[in-house]
Amino acid sequence: MNHKEKEFSSFHTPGHKCSDILPQELLRLDFTELPDTDSLYEADGIILNTEKRLERLFGTKRTLISSGGCTLAIQTMLMLASRRGKKMLFTRNIHRSAVNTCVLAGIEPVWIMPKSDSAFFTGRITAEDADKAFSENPDASALYVTSPDYYGEISDIKGLAGVCHKYGKLLLVDNAHGSHLAFCHKNMHPIALGADMSACSLHKTLPVLTGGAVLNIADEELSVHAKQTMVLFGSTSPSYVIMASVDICCDYLEKHRDEYSRLEERTGKIKRLAEERGLVMPSGLCDPLRVCINTSCAGISPDEQTDFFQSFKVEPEFCDGENAVFICTPFNSDTDFERLEAAVGSLCGNGSNKKPERISLPECVAMPREAVFSETKRVAVKNSLGLVSAESACPCPPGVPVVMPGERIDENVISSLCRYGICDILCCAD
């Protein structure tokens, strides 16, 4: 309540921005499985009807509702794919929920490093990178990518899908931050571009309560076992309040889906202003409704970032010391955008970018599952050089691990963990 009374402009999740799109009456819908209310994992009534509505909206063969966030959708997606093989290709910038699923499902990850023209942002892998990785790992069953990433960079999903399908493999997309891409001027949703499955965190950019997500499936064969697989990870007490908000979202999108494409011009105006002010932003294809600007080139120190934007009554989604991320949705008001424009307009960048350094991956000495379930000890990060991590140590947000379970901790890992304020880490005892 104290935070709400500050009346900051929300440029963070959830997408509804605490607006009136979700009525107070939602609290009166906290039901359980009843003859009238259906059952999520055995849906044959109103919940199934909502899933069918979502399938029409996203253009899928099957869409499953999750009230356990995108984590549950990711768990289900990876478990379904693991039926075709336990070895998979992963871009290195994956969320820790995917790493944890590898642990639970016994999946062997093969890492592909994204490439970027800037040290400030993550970058992407190319279709050529995927082709090379599959030729070197013919027993890998799937490629897993994050698109868009936390900075809004969108991968070449169509090109990656072409490579995957050439080799008879699956393309899995963590589309947690891109549910709205299906409703932009150009449909850039992964399913529309050839992905076999995508995990979509509806609440991040659509008018859905936190925890509302979906698993979108384009492959008919994969959909057969989808519900039974979700049951392995899902709570037996799914939230009817969250599911009701998904239904409200369907209503909104069926009537007002063009609101997202209309917002592109408003958000584009802020991006153009940032460019005019000499502020560095991600290059290439990016989420049209996410603003990501580098503030270090404007002389804003890491300690000043959040305070600077809050002085304009703007609450960013994320400040990492160098970049600030802002999520825009139709539920942001004109006042919200005026405040963000004022903040961006007051910055003066030098336009200087920073070339990325070549990063080598830590040595992998054990499978993630083996490391996590081994004998462990908690160690101060400064004393962990040479030890093997038994956890996915990461700052959240964005939730991308600095080191994966089973990897040997080197000086680069220690430096990164210390920079993020992570002081201790769980390591294998041996």
Q: Say what the pLDDT of residue 325 is.
A: 97
pLDDT digits (tens, 9 = 90+) for 235-285: 999 999 999 999 999 999 999 999 999 999 999 999 999 999 999 999 999
Q: Say what the pLDDT of residue 169 is.
A: 98
Q: Say what the pLDDT of residue 175 is.
A: 98
Q: Say what the pLDDT of residue 406 is.
A: 97
Torsion, Cα 132 137 142 146, to 10 degrees, reads: -50
Are 66 and 245 in contact, with CB atoms under 8 Å apart?
no
Q: Say what the pLDDT of residue 346 is.
A: 97
Task: Return the HEC string of the chain.
Answer: CHHHHCCCEEECCCCCCCCCCCCHHHHHHCCCCECCCECHHHCCCHHHHHHHHHHHHHCCCEEEEECCHHHHHHHHHHHHHHCCCCEEEEECCCCHHHHHHHHHHCCEEEEECCECCCCCCCCECCHHHHHHHHHHCCCCCEEEEECCCCCCECCCHHHHHHHHHHCCCEEEEECCCCHHHHHCCCCCCHHHHCCCEEEECHHHHCCCCCCCEEEEECCHHHHCCHHHHHHHHCCCCCCHHHHHHHHHHHHHHHHHCHHHHHHHHHHHHHHHHHHHCCCCCCCCCECCCEEEEECHHHCCCCCCHHHHHHCCCEEECEECCCEEEEECCCCCCHHHHHHHHHHHHCCCCCCCCCCCCCCCCCCECCCHHHHHCCCEEEEEHHHCCCCEECCCECCCCCCCCCECCCEECCHHHHHHHHHCCCCEEEEECC
Q: Say what the pLDDT of residue 357 is.
A: 79
The residue ranges of the chain whose pLDDT is under 70 are none
Q: What is the pTM of this model?
A: 0.96
Q: Say what the pLDDT of residue 394 is.
A: 84
Q: Say what the pLDDT of residue 297 is.
A: 92
CB neighbours (10 Å) of residue 128? 10
Q: Give the C-alpha separation, 180 to 261, whole Å.
A: 9
